[in-house]
Amino acid sequence: MREVYREVGPALVRLTESLGPAPDIIVIVGSGSSNGHAFRTGESFASWVDVLALPTADQIRVFVTHELAHALHYTVNPSLYHSPATFHTVFRKLWTEGVATYLTMRTLACTAEKALWADFLSPEELERWMAACSQNEKELWAELKKQAWQADTGDRFFCVDQRRPLEEWRTGYFCGLKLASLVATEVGMRSMLGLSLSEVERYLEQW
């Protein structure tokens, strides 16, 4: 438990000093099947993390920062958390995961590769995955745009599925980070957090 706070304490300060109030973090001992997410508690948002799903200091640092970024994003823009019309859509997932990954990258001053995977993949696997995403980016965006407002089943763009080739894992995070990086460059990080999905949608025309 102490290691979690030691690894993410400085990141939490950097994440919130210019963007919003610091969210709470709740550490649990779970099944190890999910590393965490953000949730609503009263009028604010907090993040929970499962220490059994984060076996290395690198994964603690990156993925806990990622979950804290979700809570901060929802605090600034709660409509992205609980809007009945969009909560389960691929586009909402694409945007919120992209923003959380982008904020992680900026907060930790790390590479996109590190913000996306920490040390979950070996260097060889990471190189292979990044190359495949870059090579298939046009097709990925076509599929994401086609399914943007459909229900997200979670098994195509945003998960590690051992039944699929490594190159198909979590491709939505790759594209989401591209989208968030573009929007942040144009409007700035603080303004980016307040954008609605309809305001973000126009940026999809870039692909």
- SS (HEC) of 112-135: HHHHHHCCCCCHHHHHHHHHHHHH
Question: What pLDDT, on the 0 to 100 scale, is given for residue 49?
Answer: 81
Pairwise pLDDT comparison (147 vs 31), residue with the higher score = 147
> Is residue 25 predicted with pLDDT exceeding 80?
no
pTM (predicted TM-score): 0.88
For tokens 């979590």, the residue is 170
Pairwise pLDDT comparison (94 vs 30), residue with the higher score = 94
Share of the chain above pLDDT 90, in %: 56
Question: What pLDDT, on the 0 to 100 scale, is given for residue 8?
Answer: 61
- What is the pLDDT averaged over residues 192-207? 93
- What is the pLDDT averaged over residues 113-141? 97
Question: What pLDDT, on the 0 to 100 scale, is given for residue 165?
Answer: 95
- What is the pLDDT averaged over residues 62-90? 86
Check the CA dihedral 174-177-182-183 and report its sign. positive
Instruction: Name the helix (H) or strand (E) containing 48.
Output: strand 44-50
